[in-house]
Structure 1
Amino acid sequence: MKKYDYILVGSGLYAGVFAWYARQKGKSCLVLEKRDHIGGNICCEDVEGIHVHRYGAHIFHTSNKKVWEFVNSLAEFNRYTNSPVANYKGEMYNMPFNMNTFSKMWNISSPKEAKAIIEEQKKEIQGEPKNLEEQAIRLVGREIYEKLVKGYTEKQWGRDCKELPAFIIRRLPVRYTYDNNYFNDLYQGIPIGGYNVIIQRLFEGCDIKMGEDYLENKEYYDSLGETVVYTGTIDAYYNYCFGRLEYRSLRFESEIRGEENYQGVAVVNYTDRETPFTRIIEHKHFEFGTQSKTVITREYPVTWQEGMEPYYPVNDEKNQGLYQKYADLAAKEERVIFGGRLGEYKYYDMDKVIESAMKKAEEVFGINSSSAC
């Protein structure tokens, strides 16, 4: 009999939710984390009494009531509503694209006027869009694309929009109402006290080793557990036998500022191409902070290289084909569960990661995850 029922590789949301259900069933878990902290990319750090999102803004939102009830059983959530602002060369626009945006851009006041302008501009693209630029113009018109989509997208991907496939942007939200709420989901908020409160609850009762690379000691750790829950990069697990999957990465620059309020909102997107960062996050606004100082973080997209943190899978046809080869291998594994953003090579919002882990827990433990919390 092995020492642990489960070896959990990584300590992000997928592993945490799975561990929580495993512990409810009395299962023993060992968590292996390469970083010096648990929580993956939702980890927060206390700076000047402010809960700083170390790896970029994480705003919880979902329309899944069961997921919402689950996270609220772990921590109390505040009423934060995501209403980011776009800065285009000093011009400030509300996001998502709504009547406040259109009123500022075109000095109009009615949905009828806004719709007429956008519909006229969309006519520029005839036939099937051949690239991301044409797709975006087809969705929102030339002017919104030029000011609020083009530069931001090119910084994110490190490529000209004309070189990016059209399918990357399937939709761009356009609202003919004066509503700055970015998400349409029924529920949203930030855990009071930061995401570390949730992480601590999810991994209660687990043995945890930080600074540990599972793949460097794979044989040893496999000998300790009955089943491995692997949330690292799937291509690395198979030693890149088919080649390396591509990712985009991020670099963060944070600073403490001796002022109470730097930008008046949690997130400002910089949508021109010349500004090297994509956004500035002012963390205190996530929890309506009243501290005398503030902490801001500039976010820079970078090309991922070995040793960097992989943030966004590059979901083009080439990489999806490569991932499918790895997924076919993974499907044959009897003692390994692949999950999460890196294990499944998929961009996941937080609620979707939790849904996925719940579904797997239901399958593995024979429980109804909808009522488990």
Structure 2
Amino acid sequence: MSSQPLTSAPTALDLTLDGGALTAQLVDFPSVSGDEKALADAVENALRTLPHLTVDRYGNNVVARTQLGRAERVLLAGHLDTVPIADNLPSRVEGDLLWGCGTTDMKSGVAVQLRLAATLPDPNRDLTFVFYDCEEIEAARNGLGHLAAQHPDWLAADFAVLLEPSDAVVEGGCQGTLRAKVTLTGTRAHSARSWLGDNAIHQAAAVLGRLADYQPRRVEIDGLEYREGLNAVRIEGGVAGNVIPDECVVTVNFRYAPDRSEAEAAAHVREVFQGYQVEVTDSAPGALPGLAQPAAQAFLAATGGSARAKYGWTDVARFSTLGVPAVNYGPGDPNLAHKRDEHCSLSAIAECERRLREWLTAAR
């Protein structure tokens, strides 16, 4: 697997290109997580040529805004980074398909953002465009998180759209996620005299039994059904082939509906495993879809009128913590993200841009 930059990589972006051609240009900027500076520079330089936008930058995060005094502000966000290159640069076009690293996740969505930023000087709502780094790696380095901490005013909005690939179907909010360790303790002994010990691994059967019997909740929010899930994802235990283990740890992952807070999710997991030692090791809140908001209703109408719940966690959760309802909506098949044969339909990019443009220019 290669992650070396191309010697022929571009140095500037041409915002007069159509969405597909602009996506190809973005793809040919290698921008593996942590190495987004060249692309962030190009995005900033291109946006600063547009007199209807004010542009700010923090690190490799670029924010551009209209200041028209509209009654509502909509934020469009996308990350600049990709996973490591898998011998899939430069980009290439075959028929209606554009191939290359980041075509789906998510430079096609970024291209749509840039096209709208360049060609909508007088939208029906004020617009904020956010381009951020380090989404594909650990949360502590996530550029959107840095902006939320250092410049939350730049992210103020009534509604947000994260242009992650969703096959151009609105995916409302996202699930929360929590991981916890359930620790079982016993007594160590020689396996030849096992009756002198208490096998901690055997105790895990009761924990697994609770998981097998667990009935996950389904909850409807803004007309979308979120399904929860509580599952064992790892079991650790054992010292040697002739020792009765005195400790076993079952790691569980709880994917929960966004009507629960992180504290409520943790309390629920502790309730399920009452009587056992439970340690929450990682947690991230979900995001409410906010589809009852007027801006969201207009967005749904412009994009086909249907939506589904987002199964998984995305950065829309960061907007939720800021009090901004958010959805996922972008071109590209999310199942192709991170694959060596990643690709995106050129017609899907154009259709996504068209729908967003209609929403942002329709008479109100």
Structure ranking higher in helix proportion:
1
Check whether TM > 0.5: no
Q: Could you say which TM-score interval applies, normalised by the shorter chain?
A: under 0.3
TM-score (normalizing by structure 1): 0.26
Tell which structure's C-alpha radius of gyration is larger: 2
Instruction: Give the strand-richer structure, 1 or 2.
Output: 2
Q: Which protein, 1 or 2, shows the higher relative CO under an 8 Å CA cutoff with sep ≥ 6?
A: 1
